């Protein structure tokens, strides 16, 4: 590769211009495009391609282009045809692990919301976690630390590590009050996750709640809708939807859709910045450069501590803190407001909300002050990752 470097990047990658305009000794030309404009024709003189999840990177896009490196500033990479990229000598990368903390904060706030609204009782509930990788492993540790029974389901890990400590999907369906998905989208093979939860599984599920913060298509949304209709005590909390950015309106408007958010669980400002940092580091490794981009210098200063009034109930006090750090119901209310959207307006609302998402700082950069020294409350806050000052 010559010292001239043509880079095409999705214009909505956080900090893209500061991260990729200057790259060591290369004469870098950065072109920022809307995802709809990232076409094969636009890449005919491109060396490096940087995308988000809305761009499918495959033979149709890259055949006949000079692209030698492609990276997605997202955790998931099922929009990349990785086998074709490997077969054609194109190096690829993702940002797996960058938004783990943000998704955990989403899950914690969701669990607390469900608890204070009487849909679950956290200490008495069991949670089945499907996919015990970066996010699922951390979630399992948090849930155990706050007293929940945790069942871990991860067939690839069980095969390589042994069955001890892992549960089958059948066991989750029989024993878990809540099932939460944290898997990649795998369409074929022994570990396929497409419609992993379908009508057959829902018919056997004895619990009350479904979380999906993984990939929309891992849950058959039509089957989920029918399952919700079967019992008024059931609920769903979805951040990922089948057919994004056109989720099923009938599912979105269902009264038992307890938490509905438009694929923003990992969208804290710090999570989005980390996405860019991971991609920047991967590109620098490919170019054999030292990674010099200073992500922290681009982030705003740490906000002042939040003051939270203590309530007699530990869980309600923690919910006050968590929802102040992350007002999840603002996201929920916004998405629920789209039920009257036309078929044209809905994907625009879904995509637009994600692109112009309000600033939300990671909890590691936010402090909370409770007007109490209650030891149990402080212990639970620590388990949740809420920093007390």
Catalytic residue list contains 263: yes
Query: Helix H segments across 124-195?
Result: 134-145, 155-161, 169-175
- What's the full length of the chain, in residues? 389
Vertex 325 angle, CA 304 and 294, to 5°: 65
Q: Which of 115, 195, 263, 354 is catalytic?
A: 263
Q: If 0-12 CB within 10 Å is exposed, 13-18 middle and 19+ buried, where does residue 373 land?
A: exposed
CA-CA distance, 341 to 155, in Å (whole number)?
A: 40
Catalytic residue list contains 115: no
Catalytic residue list contains 244: yes
328-336 and 345-355 helices, crossing angle to 10° = 160
Q: Which of 157, 195, 234, 244 is catalytic?
A: 244
CA-CA distance, 293 to 22, in Å (whole number)?
A: 9
CA-CA distance, 377 to 117, in Å (whole number)?
A: 19
Q: Which of 215, 267, 332, 361 is catalytic?
A: 215
Phi and psi at residue 236, to the nearest 5°: -135, 150
Annotated active-site positions, please?
215, 244, 263
């Amino acid at each position: 590769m010559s010292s001239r470097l043509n880079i095409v990047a999705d214009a909505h990658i956080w900090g893209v211009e500061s991260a990729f305009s200057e790259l060591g000794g290369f004469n870098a030309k950065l072109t920022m495009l809307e995802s709809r404009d990232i076409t094969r024709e636009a890449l005919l003189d491109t060396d490096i391609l940087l995308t988000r999840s809305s761009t499918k990177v495959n033979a149709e896009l890259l055949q006949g282009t000079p692209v030698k490196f492609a990276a997605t500033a997202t955790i998931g990479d099922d929009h990349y045809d990785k086998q074709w990229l490997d077969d054609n000598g194109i190096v690829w990368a993702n940002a797996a692990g960058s938004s783990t903390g943000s998704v955990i904060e989403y899950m914690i706030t969701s669990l607390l919301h469900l608890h204070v609204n009487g849909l679950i009782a956290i200490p008495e509930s069991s949670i089945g976690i499907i996919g015990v990788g970066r996010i699922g492993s951390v979630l399992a540790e948090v849930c155990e630390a706050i007293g929940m029974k945790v069942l871990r389901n991860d067939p690839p890990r069980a095969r390589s590590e042994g069955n001890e400590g892992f549960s089958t999907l059948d066991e989750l369906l029989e024993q878990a009050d809540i099932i939460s998905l944290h898997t990649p989208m795998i369409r074929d093979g022994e570990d396929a996750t497409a419609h992993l939860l379908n009508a057959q599984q829902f018919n056997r599920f004895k619990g009350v709640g479904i979380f999906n913060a993984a990939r929309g298509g891992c849950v058959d949304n039509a089957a989920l809708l029918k399952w919700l209709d079967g019992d008024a005590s059931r609920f769903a909390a979805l951040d990922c939807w089948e057919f994004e950015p056109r989720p099923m309106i009938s599912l979105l408007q269902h009264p038992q859709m307890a938490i509905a958010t438009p694929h923003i669980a990992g969208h804290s400002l710090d999570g989005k910045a980390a996405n860019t940092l991971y991609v920047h580091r991967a590109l620098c490794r490919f170019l054999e450069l030292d990674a010099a981009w200073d992500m922290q210098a681009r982030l705003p200063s740490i906000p002042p501590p939040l003051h939270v009034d203590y309530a007699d109930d530990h869980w309600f006090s923690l919910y006050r803190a968590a929802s102040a750090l992350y007002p999840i119901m603002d996201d929920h209310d916004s998405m629920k407001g789209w039920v009257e959207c036309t078929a044209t307006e809905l994907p625009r609302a879904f995509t637009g909300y994600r692109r112009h998402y309000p600033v939300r700082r990671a909890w590691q950069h936010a402090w909370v002050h409770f007007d109490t020294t209650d030891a149990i409350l402080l212990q639970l806050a620590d388990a949740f990752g809420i920093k007390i000052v």
